[in-house]
Structure 1
Amino acid sequence: MTSLTATTGTATTRDRVRQAVVLVGSLVAALGAAYGSGAFGGQSTADAAGGALSASATPLAPDTPAFSIWSVIYTALLVFAVVQALPRYASDARLRAVSWWLLASMLLNALWIGVVQAGSVGGSVLVIVALVVVLSVVLVRLVRTPHTAALPSAVTDVTTGLYLGWVSVATLANVAAFLTVAEVGELGLGATGWAVVVVGAGAALAVAYAVFARVRPAVALPIGLAMAWGLAWIGLGRTNGPLVDATVANAAFVASAVALLAPVVTTLVARRR
């Protein structure tokens, strides 16, 4: 077996159980998340917790259209759930390495929505940080485990990349919302200053992801794309509406460009070596 392909063995009962549980669990988590976010009526996430996570709650809140990326992510997660359940991929080494973790991430996402609907912004920070940690574990495993069959490898990489990239930006906004609700004050730099610092940290995180995942462009590029999307909508949200801030907007646009270009550069450099 070459270094480009992970070894696969004979499917076991444990593999079949994993496939079934991940498929059913994914459907349940997706339905729970949709219900909790108000897709079937009821309170939307933006209106929950007193509007703490709305598009105009803090200088780091992405504008409303940014959240349409969830439809892409949910679709990708459901495609992943179906692909990993196909009999031919039961013993796929990469799916063995990450399927349970991705199911955990879906359940955490549904839990996050439930916590927000319950009005606990502080609790939502804990959950979303746990979600980033889980998805980071998936990223590490995908980078360290060679590609197997083309379809499951592509679906898993792209899904994880979009999911982790977006949730990383959402975490910045979530923390900002918590600090606002907690009334911690301006902490010396003021709202604009801290927003610029956090946006800069987001750009640095995007670069770190790009460097680490440079040998896996199928996951590195979607991470950058999703982070660029979220950061750009933070910028657009500060150019109009009730919370205009040109300084934060410009910083967010620069960070968005960094997030988009970083994986392109690191991937090209890695290929030339």
Structure 2
Amino acid sequence: MNASRTWRGSDLARQIVVLSALSFMLIAAVIGAGAFGNSAVQDQQGGALDTDGSYLAPAGPAFSIWSVIYLGLIAYGVWQALPGQRTAPRQRSLGWLIALTMTLNGLWLVAARFGTLLLTVLDIVLLLAALGWTFEVAVATRDARGGVADSVLIDGVTGLHLGWVTLATVANTAAFLTTVVPPSWEEAADAIGIAVLVVVAVIGLAIAWRSGWRITPALALAWGLSWLAVERFTGEPQSGPIGATALVVAAVVLLPPAIVRVLRLIRPTVD
């Protein structure tokens, strides 16, 4: 038997930890959605996390991407628990990390419900770092992928999670700062918002470049940016400059990996 595929006690422990982290995240999500008589996330923290909480908050429909991410994580949790995945090299490399991202995801909802706005910022920054680490390991181990399920449930779901949380971190931080900075700062909201979105563009391109132009983080980031633009054009607080910049940044982060993806389909040797 290949020594690398020999069963270890830590393999079963990893599978159990992943399922436990998934269960915790889902329970937190149900509570965060307003079940059991609780207020929904957007109504917590004095409404600071709602779509009108800052100039960098996306419109409500943007958050439907969580349904895709959660379904992907549920599918991953079930799939990784199969006996055939117990000793898989990629599971050994990534299972613990994905469990960490699930736990931090759930803790953010706990912080939003029972903690402070500052705690939500600290948690989501940790979640973003954990997702970046996880996605980097996923890219580094791509040669060990074991088929379509491996690619979709590890690379695809982690990429979507990373891309969305990148923008969510910006929105969460902006919501917190809106509650603590002097009201006079609103006069410079357009300039600050545009500057932040330029940084988001740089981060989005850096993720794409670092991952070999994987498209899933860009898809999630562009999705969020597009709905941010919708909210700034049609919601409150309104800002045409920030809305227009968000659309430009969405195109900037999405087009390069999309072009590379098309080229790879046309010419498979393109790396």
TM-score, normalisation: structure 2 = 0.90
Give the counterpart of 1:192 among 187, 190, 193. Answer: 190
* Deviations, residues 124-145 of structure 1 (Å, cap 9, x unaligned): 1110000001111101111111
* Deviations, residues 222-273 of structure 1 (Å, cap 9, x unaligned): 1010000001010000111232211011000011111221322455489525
SS at match of 1:53: coil
Shift of 1:57: 1.3
For 1:4-153, what aligned pairs fall within 5 Å after superposition?
A: 9-118=5-114, 120-145=116-141, 146-150=143-147, 151-153=149-151
Give the counterpart of 1:260 among 251, 254, 262. Answer: 254
The answer as to whether partners of 1:27 and 1:78 remain within 8 angstroms in 2 is no
TM-score, normalisation: structure 1 = 0.90
1:232 matched to 2:230? The reply is no
Measure, in 1, the Cα distance between the counterparts of 2:69 and 2:16.
21
Shift of 1:186: 5.5
Measure, in 2, the Cα distance between the counterparts of 1:185 and 1:163.
33
SS at match of 1:17: helix
Q: Which runs of 4+ in 1 moved over 4 A?
A: 184-189, 266-271
The answer as to whether partners of 2:139 and 2:155 remain within 8 angstroms in 1 is no
Measure, in 2, the Cα distance between the counterparts of 1:139 and 1:107.
16
The answer as to whether partners of 1:36 and 1:110 remain within 8 angstroms in 2 is no
Distance 1:105 1:184, change over 3 A: farther
SS at match of 1:238: helix
1:169 matched to 2:161? The reply is no
Identity percentage over the alignment? 36
User: Which stretch of structure 1 is more off in the superposition, 188-197 or 80-89?
Assistant: 188-197
5+ unaligned residues in a row in structure 1: which ranges? 1-6
Shift of 1:71: 0.7
Q: Give the number of aligned pairs.
A: 263
The answer as to whether partners of 1:121 and 1:178 remain within 8 angstroms in 2 is yes
* Deviations, residues 158-184 of structure 1 (Å, cap 9, x unaligned): 110010000000000011111111124
Measure, in 1, the Cα distance between the counterparts of 2:207 and 2:258.
12
What is the root-mean-square deviation in Å for CA atoms of aligned residues? 2.0
Q: What amino acid is the match of 1:108? A: L
